[in-house]
C-alpha cells in the first residue's frame, strides 16, 4: 500500500493570476503544503498535478525527494472542473493500487503542517474509518435567510463556553482509498473521521487580502 499526497494546482486562476506560485512569506504558495506533505512520515510520494509549465518549473526548484509532477489534462483543469475529476484522472492514468490511499491536499491551505497529516491519518486508522477530512470547530450561530435559527434555540441561548459548536471543513486535507474513490467518484466515502485543526486554519487563499492575513499569521505562529 502506498500513501499518495495529491496536490492539484491549476495555472488558470482568475481571481489571482498564477495564484498557486504567487509568493507567500517568501515562498510560492504551493511550497507550503508541498513541504508539509513531504515532511509527513505517513506520505510515500507527493504528486503535483498541474497543467502549467510555469508551475512545473517552480516546483522542480523545491528539490524535495518525494515530489513527482503529473501533467493534468486541460479538460480537467478548467474553471468549472471538479477536483474529483483531477483525482480520478490521476488514478486512472497512474499505477495506483486499489489499496493505496489518496491524500487530497489543497495548495490554498498553507497553514497545514506535516504533523496534521500524520495525526489525521492516525485518527482514521484508529477509528477504523473509510475516509477522513480536516475541519475546524465553529461556535457561531447560524440563521437561514428566512429568519430561522439553524443550530441553536435563540430562546435558550447557550453560553459560548457551553456550546460545543459544529465542525466546518477547512479544505486542507481529505483521505480516501483508491478503491473507495473509484466506487463513489468522491473524495469521501463510508465511515468518515473528522480531524480537528486549530481555528486559524479555516483561512483559505482565495482573494489578494488572504495573502496579507495569512502572512501575518505565519509570522506570528513561527512558520517563517
159 is catalytic: no
Strand pairing report for 27-28 and 23-24? antiparallel
| Cell matching residue 158 | 447557550
Among candidate residues 10, 126, 140, 157, the one labeled active-site is 157
201: phi then psi, degrees, rounded to nearest 5:
-80, 5
CA dist., res. 67 & res. 37, Å (int): 9
| Cell matching residue 115 | 504533523
CA dist., res. 79 & res. 12, Å (int): 7
Measure CA 178 to chain center: 17
CA dist., res. 33 & res. 136, Å (int): 18
Active-site positions read: 157
Amino acid at each position: 500500500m502506498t500513501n499518495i499526497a495529491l496536490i492539484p494546482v491549476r495555472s488558470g486562476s482568475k481571481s489571482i493570476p498564477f495564484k498557486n506560485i504567487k509568493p507567500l512569506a517568501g515562498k510560492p504558495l504551493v511550497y507550503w503544503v508541498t513541504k508539509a506533505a513531504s515532511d509527513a512520515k505517513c506520505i510515500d510520494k507527493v504528486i503535483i498535478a498541474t497543467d502549467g509549465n510555469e508551475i512545473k518549473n517552480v516546483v522542480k526548484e523545491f528539490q524535495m525527494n518525494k515530489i513527482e509532477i503529473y501533467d493534468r489534462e486541460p479538460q480537467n483543469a478548467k474553471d468549472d472542473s471538479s477536483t474529483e475529476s483531477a483525482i480520478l484522472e490521476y488514478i486512472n492514468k497512474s499505477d495506483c493500487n486499489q489499496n493505496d490511499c489518496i491524500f487530497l491536499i489543497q495548495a490554498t491551505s498553507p497553514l497545514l503542517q506535516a504533523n496534521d497529516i500524520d495525526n489525521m491519518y492516525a485518527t482514521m486508522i484508529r477509528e477504523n474509518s473509510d475516509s477522513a477530512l480536516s475541519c475546524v470547530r465553529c461556535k457561531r450561530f447560524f440563521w437561514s435567510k428566512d429568519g430561522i435559527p439553524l443550530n441553536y434555540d435563540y430562546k435558550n441561548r447557550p453560553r459560548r463556553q457551553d456550546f460545543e459548536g459544529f465542525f466546518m471543513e477547512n479544505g486542507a486535507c481529505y483521505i480516501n482509498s483508491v478503491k473507495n474513490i473509484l466506487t463513489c467518484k468522491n473524495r469521501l466515502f463510508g465511515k468518515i473521521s473528522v480531524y480537528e485543526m486549530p481555528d486559524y486554519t479555516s483561512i483559505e487563499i482565495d482573494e489578494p487580502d488572504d495573502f496579507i492575513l495569512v502572512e501575518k499569521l505565519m509570522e506570528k505562529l513561527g512558520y517563517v
